Amino acid sequence: MKITFKGSIYILTIKISFIKGGKKMSLYHGLAAFNLEMTDRVPRTEYSSAQRHWKLVKAVTGIDVDENSPKDLQQKASNAFVKAWNYDLTWAIRPLDKELGKYKTNMGHAAYAAGGTDYDNKIYCPFNEPEEVLEFDPWEALGPKDKNAAREKFEKQYRKHCEFYPDALNTSGIYITCVSGLIDIFGWEMLLLASGMDPEGFGEMTNRYVSWVKQFFEALAETTMPVVVVHDDIVWTSGAIFHPDWYRKYVFPNYKKLFEPLKEANKKILYTSDGNYTEFIDDIADCGVHGFCMEPCTDMKYIAEKYGKTHVFVGNADTRVLLTGTKEDIYNEVKRCMDIGKNCPGFFMAVGNHIPSNTPVENALYYNEVYEKLSKR
């Protein structure tokens, strides 16, 4: 059986084989979903923390691994977990924080990974006054980047994931798109002070930043990956950070500029933001994205009803239900998502947004059991 991925930088034709039990390989389902073709089951993905939940990984794969294991053993176990859970799409972005050099605020980090290996209590901001934020020029501070080198790094990440997860549709992408980049550079305190003091001046600085970060979108456009993940945390859990009019003047017009080289290269754009971006779904769709990824606070039902036949969407089981819920709660949460997305060809089931390492193993296993039961079309 063959499937042609429409809209890639090249025509990607893949011969699909079958795996044991008569189940089609995950790559088939991932490609079909992005082609908006209905398959025999709802495809699925999870964010990277699931395959780094070492107790869960050990329970699923039988490989004796934890946060202190050698990296090669961890990668072997993660690969086996992704295959066992039959991911149809793998998730990858490059944070690009090193590209910001000394112009990056360190806001610390809560313990999230297994063993608290990501905990950081160091706080540093290179900006002392909001006026410095408004005057910031990334071209002057950071300079132009080597597009060939940037392209090679994106391509390397994508190829590595293809090697690790050959049965899935793999991606790479960018984290510091617009608002996320400004948060990384200025930190919350300086960002909020500057944007509140002079919204127009902050918007003009945003325009300068976008003109600089577009270099990386141009590099992504020259890679061989068919799907690009664009991550930009534009909202809080409660909704907009800034006035909606500010987004419509300074964020979404800039998205169109950033996405232009990707669209010219026929890339599929999978957009994601933490928080509740429901009020901006239509604005984001108008910018030309091909898919949405969301947390449970964003209204997936609205996306399914308006864009379910034309766009991919990923989500959005509540991770808190897996963390503290009963089996009945977990079943009902998966069913809620399936009831919304099952009849939409581009729907991927996933937990929004992670399965963290403190999730009870039995709950995660039951979640997968329910997914396998309810995913059949």
- What's the pLDDT score for residue 50? 86
> Do 9 and 267 contact (CB within 8 A), yes or no?
yes
Instruction: Give me the amino acid identity at 66.
Output: D
Taking the C-alpha atoms of residue 315 and residue 294, their distance in angstroms, rounded to an integer, is 6
> Do 51 and 130 contact (CB within 8 A), yes or no?
no
Closest to 279 (Cα-Cα) out of 259, 303, 255, 296: 303
Write out the DSSP string of 8-50.
SSS-EEEE--B-GGGPBPHHHHHHHHHTT---SB--B---TTG
Q: What is the pLDDT of residues 104-130, one digit of tens each?
A: 998 766 666 667 777 778 888 999 999
236: β partners: 239
Q: What is the mean pLDDT of the chain?
A: 91
> Do 243 and 202 contact (CB within 8 A), yes or no?
no
As a whole-number percent, the residues of the chain with pLDDT over 90 amount to 83
Range of 21's domain?
A: 2-374
> Do 88 and 30 contact (CB within 8 A), yes or no?
yes
CATH of the domain at 201: 3.20.20.210
Helix (H, G, I), strand (E, B) or coil at 187: helix
Q: What is the pLDDT of residues 217-267, one digit of tens each?
A: 999 999 999 999 999 999 999 999 999 999 999 999 999 999 999 999 999
Closest to 14 (Cα-Cα) out of 26, 24, 4: 4
Strands 227-231 and 268-272: parallel
Model confidence at 373: pLDDT above 50: yes
11 pLDDT tier (thresholds 50, 70, 90): very low
Q: How many CA atoms lie within 13 A of 25 on its CB side?
A: 17
Q: In what order do the strands lie in the sheet with 227-231?
A: 172-174, 227-231, 268-272, 291-293, 312-318, 347-352
Looking at the 3D structure of the chain, how many domains does it have? Answer: 1
Write out the DSSP string of 78-97.
HHHHHHHTT-SB----B--G
- What's the pLDDT score for residue 281? 98
Q: Kindly report which listed range (61-75, 93-107, 136-150, 311-325) carries the lowest average pLDDT score.
A: 93-107
Q: Residue 263 belongs to what H/E stretch?
A: helix 252-264
Q: Tokens 């000394």 identify what position? A: 102
Model confidence at 6: pLDDT above 70: no
174: β partners: 94, 230
Taking the C-alpha atoms of residue 70 and residue 304, their distance in angstroms, rounded to an integer, is 42
Write out the DSSP string of 127-175.
--SHHHHHH--HHHHH----HHHHHHHHHHHHHHHHHH-TTSB--EEES
- What's the pLDDT score for residue 49? 79
Check residue 142 and give left, alpha or beta (phi > 0: left; psi -120 to 50: alpha): alpha
Burial group, residue 101, by CB count within 10 angstroms (0-12, 13-18, 19+): exposed
Kindly state the tokens that stand for 87.
């991911």
Q: What is the pLDDT of residues 160-213, one digit of tens each?
A: 999 999 999 999 999 999 999 999 999 999 999 999 999 999 999 999 999 999
Closest to 23 (Cα-Cα) out of 83, 90, 91: 83
C-alpha to C-alpha distances, 168 to 19, 24, 52, 139, nearest whole angstrom? 13, 11, 18, 38
As a whole-number percent, the residues of the chain with pLDDT over 70 amount to 91
